[in-house]
Structure formats: C-alpha cells, structure tokens
Structure 1
C-alpha cells in the first residue's frame, strides 16, 4: 500500500519539480554543484513550511530557488576573488568523431557555454529577471516579489538584460566553419605565427584559464595571441578534437597519459570570440574525458 501521508506527498511533489528547479538554478549560477546546493536548500525550506499555506506549489518553489540563487549571485559580486567554479559553467566534454555535421552546435544544450558566459556579465537582478522570465516564463509580478520591485521596474530589468544578451549573441557560424577557424588558430599557435593568430581572433576575445591557483582572464587579441603558443602547446604530446558544451574544443594529454588541458572555443562571425581553458589537475580529474585519440 502506498504511503499517502502529507510528508510523503510533499516529497513526491518536490521530486516532480526537481529537474526544473535544478535547471533554473543552473541557468542562474552556471554551476551544477551550486545548482544542486540551491535545490537542496529549497527542499530544507519546504520541509519547514506548512504545505497548507502553499497555494501554487511550483510557483512557491521557483520563488524560493530564485531568492536563494539571487543571494548566491550577490555574494559572488561582493567577493571579487570568487573561485573559478563560481565564474564559469561546468564543462561537459563529448567525443567529436563525426566528419563535421553542420548541425552539431544546434543540437547542443540550448543554454550552452556562450550564453552562460554572457549571463555572467549581467547584474544579479538583471540575470534573475531575464532567466526567470525569458527562459522559464515566470510572470513579471512574481519576479518582482522576489526582487522587491514593482512589476514595471522588473520588466525594465528584463528588457535591459535582454538587450545586453542580444548585443553579445551574434550569429554563430555553422559547425564545419567553426572547426576550420579553430584549426587555423591551433595551426598558427603551433607555428608561432602571431599574424595568423590575429587574423582568427576577435579584437575583443576573452580568454579564461582555470589554473590550480585560481582563474586568470586575458582580454584582447594581441594579449591572447602573445601567450597562445605557450598556453596551448606547452607539455602536450597528444590532442583530440572534442565538443565542449556543444562548442568545438580540444583535449590534450601529457606523455604519461595524464590530461593536460581542456579548451573550448566560441566562434562568431568567423573569428574566435571566447576561449575557455581548464588546466587545473583537480578539475580535470573530476571531468569525464575521452581516452586519447
């Protein structure tokens, strides 16, 4: 006989919402680990709440997850030394064995690395308003209650965030062309061809490197090109083309088979606009990487 006690019914209702709540928190925070923590905290708050006072279960949980995520974002903003995991989304590496289908990127997660990096540039309130309304269709009046703002003020926040996202989200090229741009970059890096690197880098390219000592960010084509050969080739003896969150990338290994780096490239309008590199051995060890090709 099934357990229909109030406590069990609440638990079942929460589990039915868990995947959606995790998705909301992940889009807010860009970290699967942080998203799990937020969802767990939402469960703890639910367990202390009288279910009879909750008239819209899904809405109540979304509000709680939004508020907790907002607190995390504001805390990060107050701590500029926040760790790399707070700054960039988790990287999911998959083998790129196909010749170069045109629709690889279109088949990737609809909110991939590029958008999550863009969302990092938004203020906490803007990010909440954009994510909840544009990605999860939460009404503005409910978002306003989370932010402590009027519905009109919340609409303005979402509109401002939307303009920033649209200004950054230039159309991406097709899968084959993305790979060709990345291959041109790697070839130029290995040759030490500085001019060749500049040709394939967006003037405002952003390079983010996850090191054992924390995050390092390099901005601008000249600075990125100057260090590209050292950063991408030092110590590597084997490399393999992969997809990283649906973007073209490469995994490199040392001679002893230990992973050296994971690199993801964001290509827009035929140039590399973003490069995310992981060289932290601890983080590499936590990733599900393919075997050397």
Structure 2
C-alpha cells in the first residue's frame, strides 16, 4: 500500500515572506523523506489505552478541536458538555489553556487579531487555569447573556459574513519538563508527532488520525509506527496529563470550518497522557 507523509511550510505574512528561497526548505524535505522511509518500514502499534506523548502538532489540535470548540459560548448555549463545568476542575492541574489574541512571549502569533469583527479590542482568553474551567469565548451577545465581557472572539471570513464566535490562537501553556525527560519516563508507549485528520463533537469526544509516530521502549525512541488513530473524551484524557514540555511550537496555521472557513493558529508544548490508540 502507498505510504505518504506531508508537511506544511509557511507562516505569518505573504508568500514572499516565507518562501523567497525554496532551497531553505531542502533540509526539511530531506528530513521528511527520511521519516517517510521509517514509516514505510513501520510496525503496527498495540491497540488499547497506552502511555503516549502528543507532540505540539497533536496537542494543538486536541486543544482546538476537542476542548476549544466546547467552550465557544454559542456552542455552550447549544448544549456543549462544558456548559455545566464552569469553576470546576475539569483536567489535570498542570493544564492551562489560553486562546491568545495576537502575541505570545513577545512574539506575534500565527493569526494575530487586534480588534475583532464586532469592533471589540482583542485580549487573551484564559479558558482553563491550573485545571479549572475559567471562561468561555464570547461575542457581544453571548457576553451579555453570561454577564461578562467579550475578549474579541467575534470573527467573520468576509465583510458579508456574520461574525461568529471563533478561536484565534489556542494552545496549552508550556510546562517545566524537557522532551527527553518525558520520553525517558515511559517504559512502554508511543511518541505521536503528526496528525492526518480528525473530528470532535460538543461532548469533547474525539478521534484523530496519526500520520507519524514512534514506539517508546525502556525510555528510548524505537521504530516508527504505521498510520493509526487515537480516540477518547478530551476532558478525561487531559486528566491523565502528568508532564508538559517547556517548549512552545506553533503550526503555520490552519483553517477552521465552523460555518465559515477562517484561519486559526494552533500549537503548544508536548503533553504526556494516556489515550486509546488503534492497532492492526
């Protein structure tokens, strides 16, 4: 069967800001080919609940798809699982989740929003703080309903579109562990690095395709694995997080398809947790 692997290249700005010299990407393409060869010779993972490290790419998708959408106030009003959880500890105390408006650690985020499409100045929204659900994301209407203030999450794709409650740059806050320490802490598990596709719903139940990953044996990276899936209830999975890496990595950005396609930023640190993984 054909084996494939892809990578997005790009970033903030125009094409000429990121792709002026294609040769700059040759080393990354060589690395991609190397990983593709590893994947072609890969093994099937053992199915079931496993100790895993989700690298930044997957942690970012989990933050956006499986947690972020459940805390958008219009979906909360529509019956999202997060609606009854405000003020409660919903995930590991190690987890803080923020929807960044435009800046992280003094640097511009992948999709900076300074004023939203209702004219609200944008501020960071701290969704989860030390494991406790602290805030939903709002437009002016939902903020009035919940008797709070909007932080600039009303976004529209085009001038003729209705502004909807949308994320901007959603990520877990980095922790204190190195990736090497996280890998060393696992005797038998997996290091999952790239997703292929996926879906989640308002219960935070998710299933994501895994395009690239490796086994971990006795605290060391082993063989690559073949394509598989991970699944679970995001709030439950995040209760098992016991290590978070100290490095933040943003993706080049993607498009979220909630009624209107719109660019969003995703990323984060790597997280160590337990999740159901598919096998042969």
* TM-score above 0.5: no
Larger Rg: 1
Q: TM-score, normalised by structure 2?
A: 0.28
User: Higher helix fraction: Structure 1 or Structure 2?
Assistant: 1
User: Higher strand fraction: Structure 1 or Structure 2?
Assistant: 2
